Chain A
Amino acid sequence: MPSSAKRVHIISRDNGWAVKKEGASRASRIYENKETAIENAKRLQRTGHDVVVHKKDGSIQKWEKSKK
Chain B
Amino acid sequence: MPWDTNDPSKNVFVNCPFDPEYVPLLRPLLFTIIYLGYNPRIASERSDSGEARIHKICELIKQSQISIHDLSRLRSSRKDEFFRLNMPFELGIDIGCRMGGENEVPQRKCLILAKERYSYKRALSDLSGSDIKAHNNEPEEIVREVRNWFVENENVHADSGTKIWESFNEFMAEFYQTRKQEGFKDRDLEIMPIPEFIQFVKDWLSPRGTPVV
Residues of A participating in the B interface, judged by any CB pair closer than 8 Å: 1-3, 7, 9, 11-14, 18, 20, 22, 27, 52, 54, 56-60, 63
Contacts and interface: CB of A to CB of B under 8 A. Distances in A.
13 contacts: A2-B176, A7-B173, A9-B166, A11-B166, A12-B140, A52-B173, A54-B172, A56-B139, A57-B28, A57-B139, A58-B139, A58-B169, A59-B176
Interface in B125-147: 138-141
Interface in B167-183: 168-170, 172-173, 176-177, 180-181
A14 B138 CA distance: 9
Nearest to A25: B163
Interface of B: 23-25, 27-28, 138-141, 162, 165-166, 168-170, 172-173, 176-177, 180-181
Residue from B139, B165, B170 with most neighbouring chain A CB atoms (10 Å): B170
Contact of A60 (B27, B165, B176): B176
B141 A14 contact: yes
Contacts of A52: 173
A13 B139 CA distance: 10
Contacts of B138: 14
Contacts of B27: 57-59
Nearest to B170: A22
B141 A59 contact: no
A36 to B, nearest CB: 18
A14 to B, nearest CB: 6
Nearest to A9: B169
Given A58-B168, A60-B173, A60-B176, 8 more contacts: A9-B170, A11-B166, A27-B166, A54-B172, A57-B24, A58-B27, A59-B172, A63-B176
- List of 10 A-B pairs having minimum Cβ-Cβ separation, nearest first: A57-B24, A2-B177, A60-B176, A57-B139, A11-B169, A58-B172, A58-B169, A52-B173, A54-B169, A58-B168
A14 B144 CA distance: 11
Nearest to B26: A57
Contacts of A54: 169, 172-173
Residue from B23, B28, B176 with most neighbouring chain A CB atoms (10 Å): B176
Contacts of A56: 24, 139
B73 to A, nearest CB: 16
A38 to B, nearest CB: 15
B192 to A, nearest CB: 12
Contacts of B170: 7, 9, 22
Given A9-B173, A58-B27, A58-B28, A14 B166 contact: no
A2 B181 contact: yes
